[in-house]
Chain A
């Protein structure tokens, strides 16, 4: 027997197909949208992840830079202190040929109870050959700074000429040390490096 294929009318087929197509499109669109969202999220996460990694690296580099700069600052401070230390200044001065002059102590004038009225001379008078002061003592005048001498009337004695200044001064002297024995040199234009300081240990 022939099977009768009943055909549906064409008009009946179209709504189902339409609906199927609509559904497929919707599902597809939804899928695409979800995929896009997921992809977008993944992309955002990836960007943030790598950005945070990058930030972390920059942070670490900056932190290291700060530490390095602080360490360098300390080293420079150390080099500065070494250069400015009194011992180093003295060594440099000696190397340059300066010497140290001893201060001459000032002795207070003591008035003898039995001594007659003293005769006061100025420094100019004293420098003449005729003047032969004997027991001379020096006294400093506060107001004028003039040095005067009080000369006693005791019998004359030969006076040994000596300086009267009490100031400590530096004067240029011939270097007294040989190249082998002179103190440690300091570089003229650059500070002492910490390596030099390290070698002290």
Chain B
């Protein structure tokens, strides 16, 4: 009986304990058990890869490991610091201080070493191995753990840096495609729930799947991009310029094959990024295009049927007065035709042509060519440029705009305008993304650019004829490419000075935009040099050689066969040899009040028209070339001739240099 009683009591006690443990302590023990075997890991999917058109990776993320310390589990901070310093080659004192501070604050994450690959991690694991320590994960050292991370690498360094951009430590794009396509490239966080046995082996794993990030394939060709960047950098350094841009566009498809900027940066070295070298000037900066804008001027007139390329054009004595401003050519052409007027970049010819087009039609032509609006290219912070509505034009605005002033355009906008003419008058929206696809190469979307006709086929053909003459015998001779016919236009514009808030005659924007082969253009190449200081300042001297260098290497490599030998016909038979006529530069001179000669100093800064009085001015006054027996009337401009002559000679000397 006694034994039975004892047995009953014993069983009762055990039962009571069981009830207590399994009922009262159920949740607590369950959590403890789960905590022992279950491990929740959060890892981020690798950011999407950016490829060029030939599937060369321009930006790629790789898995790396970060060694961190959980200060709450460190037994001996001094010993740990010593061991880590010896293993990793770190400063022991600094590490000791860091760990002790973390222990006192009970920090659970103290990064020790970042960006280590598997080989380095394995080496560190072997060095930190502590015999007899039972630990589920590596390294087998109290308080130290690994965390999976990723590192963004740009294997080509500076190549296409402005296009590709870069991302920050959190994996968020900060510039370029990395920024504009951040949503698609961004890797979501994946939650992995792992169950481990007592030896730390994972026997069950549940992964909350997320949609994988997309990869982006660009239209950029790495080889063409490199060629453009090298040629541009060389020219900018040689001319001691402030900056430069070069764009290569496929005329048939609107694909941007290269977009180069100088200065540039290496996205692998974020410390070297400054506001100056970060700007993608090709799309984010606007400038006064100067004479390259004559494409629009003559294009508008051709489209209206007002002119024909071979038609006669009287430029008189090389000056034209519009409202209160006198515009000049570098050398008087007298009687010529529109081809030659374009070839030598006659301001008078362009202005007279624009006057015939008229304000409204000229404005419409600018908008039709896509100026004043963004191209829609898939890059951030694109500028739309500035094209003022006609209500805000002054009396001489039409004349200024005809020669590329009083408007703001980006290099991409002008390149697209030229590509339109190269493409028989059809404007194709420029784009830089060819395709977006999943990591298994399944396409998600392909770019379908917009197309619309800007000018007729005949107008485009006539313009190409005129542009060809620029290169054959005009201001763009240095753009000639061995074996290929080239057409294009030079531009040399006084630059708008931000500090002075007006156009500065001492600072230039020199450009050349052209396409090749001229008879069947495949590529349009635009080169813009900002503030060349050494050597020639003209677009023909500074920018055209860059065009040539790019075209010489790119055209053969693209399998574009050389065209016919360049013709040697001379269409111009005027009194002045073609190669002696430098490009006309400048936005005219204000007719001074009272004494016309006092303000015409060579170094005079021409005030920006936008800053001037906005009152409507008198009607356009054109200087007439007097007939043979007609007495020449006395004009104020004649008295200003000596000073302007000085200015003209200075410009000619610079262009010759």
A interface with B by C-beta (< 8 Å): 52-54, 56-57, 59-60, 63, 67-68, 71-72, 74-75, 77-78, 81-82, 84-87, 103, 105-111, 113, 139-142, 166, 168, 193-195, 197-198, 200-201
Contacts and interface: CB of A to CB of B under 8 A. Distances in A.
Interface of B: 46, 56-57, 60-64, 115-120, 151, 153, 155-159, 194-195, 197, 201-205, 222-223, 226, 266, 268-270, 472-473, 477-478, 480-483, 545, 548-549, 552-553, 562, 564-566, 568-570, 573, 579
B570 A113 contact: yes
Name the prevailing secondary structure of the A interface residues: helix
A32 to B, nearest CB: 27
Contacts of A142: 483, 562, 564-565
30 contacts: A53-B197, A54-B203, A56-B202, A57-B203, A59-B205, A60-B201, A72-B118, A74-B61, A74-B62, A74-B63, A78-B153, A78-B155, A86-B159, A86-B223, A86-B226, A87-B226, A103-B552, A108-B566, A110-B473, A110-B570, A110-B579, A111-B570, A139-B565, A140-B483, A140-B565, A142-B564, A194-B64, A195-B117, A195-B119, A201-B151
B158 A87 contact: yes
A109 B205 contact: no
A71 B56 CA distance: 18
A142 B563 CA distance: 9
B118 A68 contact: yes
Given A56-B204, A74-B62, A198-B151, A105 B478 contact: yes
A86 to B, nearest CB: 4
A84 B158 CA distance: 14
Given A60-B205, A108-B566, 9 more contacts: A54-B203, A56-B195, A56-B203, A60-B203, A74-B60, A75-B62, A81-B60, A193-B117, A198-B64
Contacts of B57: 77-78, 81
A65 B478 CA distance: 59
Q: Which of A67, A168, A194 has the most CB of B within 10 A?
A: A194
Q: Which of A84, A87, A142, A166 has the most CB of B within 10 A?
A: A87
A146 to B, nearest CB: 12
Contacts of B269: 200-201
A199 to B, nearest CB: 9
A108 B472 contact: yes
A105 B541 CA distance: 13
Contacts of B62: 71, 74-75, 78, 194
B203 A166 contact: no
A176 to B, nearest CB: 17
Contacts of A87: 156-159, 226
Contacts of B195: 56
B568 A106 contact: no
